[in-house]
């Protein structure tokens, strides 16, 4: 078994996927890590798959739509003992992922990035998310799951694959980010937080996140309200 899979979920990311794959590959080589770059595609209609393969990534396709579906599928299909994941829009730089890997090597089951611990690039996060949405939902999550996680929605995180598969996560959408932390906390797994810098995404189109819809899905999950 290889040590690390770098998992990049994608949906129509032709403008950024090559940069992400190259960053991830460089990170593996520069740190002497035996690993793979795995692009999990969620049905892209552009050149994402072709470009990812050309850049050297292993590409898999998840037929079920949704952020949770694609990440759960990618983790199941990963060949690494550890899985480090980050969005395919260049909003996170894989060159800065070393502390997450070291935390896993140190025994963490789940490593979550904290975007608020470092200055964000200007325009990287909408004010509504930065000053209200993410802080509010993270406070609810900390009380609900009795955990100290400061940023429940950071897209750069890493897991011990075996530990993650024991959790039985089921969420299909963006609320998967909350479910992963909640289940790990309830199970008594070791959760470590690492400062992560957030950059403005480079894809040049509207983000997949829908602020109010996704925010309510996170909230309903924590309150135990069926998502439908």
pLDDT the model gives residue 228 = 38
Nearest-angstrom CA–CA distance, 60 and 74: 8
pLDDT the model gives residue 40 = 99
pLDDT the model gives residue 221 = 82
What CATH number corresponds to the domain at position 81?
3.90.550.10
Residue 191's SS3 state is strand
- 36 located within any domain: yes
- 139 located within any domain: yes
- 141 located within any domain: yes
pLDDT the model gives residue 212 = 60
Domain membership of residue 99 as a residue range: 2-223
pLDDT the model gives residue 225 = 47
Alpha-carbon torsion 157, 160, 161, 166, what sign?
negative
pLDDT the model gives residue 217 = 79
Backbone angles phi, psi at 99, to 5 degrees: -60, -30
- 33 located within any domain: yes
- 150 located within any domain: yes
What's the number of domains the chain is made of?
A: 1
- 82 located within any domain: yes
- 81 located within any domain: yes
Which residues of the chain, if any, have pLDDT below 70?
Answer: 203-212, 214-215, 225-228
- The DSSP 8-state label assigned to residue 115 in this structure reads G
The pTM of this model reads 0.91
C-alpha dihedral over 122, 17, 111, 194, to 10 degrees? -30
- 228 located within any domain: no
DSSP letters, 9-46, are EESS-TTTHHHHHHHHHHHHHHTT--EEEEEEES--SS
pLDDT the model gives residue 181 = 96
Q: Which two tokens stand for residue 152?
A: 């429940």
């Amino acid at each position: 078994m290889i040590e690390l899979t770098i998992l990049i979920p994608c949906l129509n990311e032709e403008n950024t996927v090559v940069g992400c794959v190259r960053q991830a590959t460089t990170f593996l080589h520069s740190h002497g890590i035996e690993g793979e770059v795995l692009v999990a595609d969620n049905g892209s209609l552009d050149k994402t798959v072709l470009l990812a393969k050309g850049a050297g990534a292993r590409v898999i396709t998840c037929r079920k739509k949704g952020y949770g579906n694609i990440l759960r599928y990618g983790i199941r299909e990963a060949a690494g003992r550890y899985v480090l994941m980050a969005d395919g829009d260049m909003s996170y730089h894989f060159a800065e992922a070393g502390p997450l890997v070291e935390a896993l090597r140190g025994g963490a089951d789940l490593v979550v990035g904290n975007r608020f611990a470092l200055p964000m690039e200007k325009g990287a996060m909408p004010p509504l998310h930065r000053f209200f949405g993410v802080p509010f939902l993270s406070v609810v999550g900390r009380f609900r799951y009795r955990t100290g996680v400061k940023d429940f929605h950071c897209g750069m995180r890493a897991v011990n694959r075996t530990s993650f598969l024991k959790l039985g996560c089921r969420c299909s959408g963006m609320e998967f980010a909350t479910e992963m932390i909640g289940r790990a906390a309830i199970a008594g797994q070791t959760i470590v937080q690492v400062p992560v810098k957030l950059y403005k995404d480079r894809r040049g189109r509207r983000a997949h996140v829908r602020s109010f819809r996704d925010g309510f899905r996170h909230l309903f999950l924590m309150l135990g309200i069926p998502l439908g």
